[in-house]
Amino acid sequence: MYGYVLTDYSQLKNTYPEFRNCMQKLREDLIRKSAQDWGGSQGPKAFGGMKPTGGQFGISTVMPELFNDMSGTRLVTWNQRLTSTGHQTIMAGAATGNTIAEDYKVGMIGLAFLSKAQRVTEVKLQISDRKIARINVEELMAYEQPCLVLEEGWILDEETGFDLYAYVEALGYQRIKLIGLQSNRVPNKLQVTNTGAALT
């Protein structure tokens, strides 16, 4: 079983100082894996690594366009419409076979549920053949900006399966965001596309 904590997203840094260390380790692991698999190095630190040139890779926040919603439609924002109740996949990798697109890696350390109304009571993650068992998230309803933070981060590798299952209790819109960061191998795939465009 993987360790986790349920808390308020707005208070995460203040309440759990160890989160900073976990996030820093995840960033270092993601940079190391990206350099190992792709060669090259992180883009210029002056831009936080977000503006790589040839032979470099970029680092940014996690983009929703790498994922599909419960209907199989590519996300443009983290806000999605939950159209049926019960146990189901509510987010999956947007590439073929519910995988993360080629030339991207995602470092994930948790999930933030940023809607006022909580419509999900349980979640379960599957990354390739690794699974995080069912987690009851009903107590998140007590928080203003609830989130689930894992004890250690996971790297969602390119062309690796990702599925987020949930028990949906009510219909309507729900903002569920991956907490973490991503690396991208091909600068132009991220930088010159229009906002909301597919990252392929």
Residue 100, domain extent:
4-189
196 within some domain: no
195 within some domain: no
Dihedral sign, CA of 98, 172, 140, 59?
A: positive
Q: 66-112: per-residue pLDDT in tens?
A: 999 999 999 999 999 999 999 999 999 999 999 999 999 999 999 99
pLDDT at position 200, please? 63
- Residue 55: phi and psi, rounded to 5, are 80, 5
**Strands of 1-101, DSSP E:** 4-8, 41-42, 56-60, 67-69, 79-82, 86-93
> 36 pLDDT band (50/70/90 cuts)?
very high
Output 188 or 88, whichever has higher pLDDT: 88
CA distances from 192 to 107, 134, 198 (A): 23, 39, 12
86 within some domain: yes
Query: Which has the closest alpha carbon to 86: 165, 174, 163, 167?
Result: 167
84 within some domain: yes
What is the model's pTM?
0.89
Q: Quickly list H helices, 82-194.
A: 187-191
For the chain, give percent helix, strand, coil, nearest 5: 20, 45, 35
Sorted by sequence, the CB contacts under 8 Å of residue 82 that are 6+ apart come out as 70, 90, 119, 120, 168, 170, 171, 172, 173, 174
Q: 114-141: per-residue pLDDT in tens?
A: 887 889 999 999 998 888 888 898 887 8
pLDDT at position 117, please? 84
The residue type of 32 is R
194 within some domain: no
pLDDT at position 199, please? 66
Q: Which two tokens stand for residue 139?
A: 């107590």
41 within some domain: yes
200 within some domain: no
85 within some domain: yes
Q: 136-175: per-residue pLDDT in tens?
A: 988 878 888 889 998 889 999 999 999 999 999 999 999 9
Q: How many domains does the chain have?
A: 1
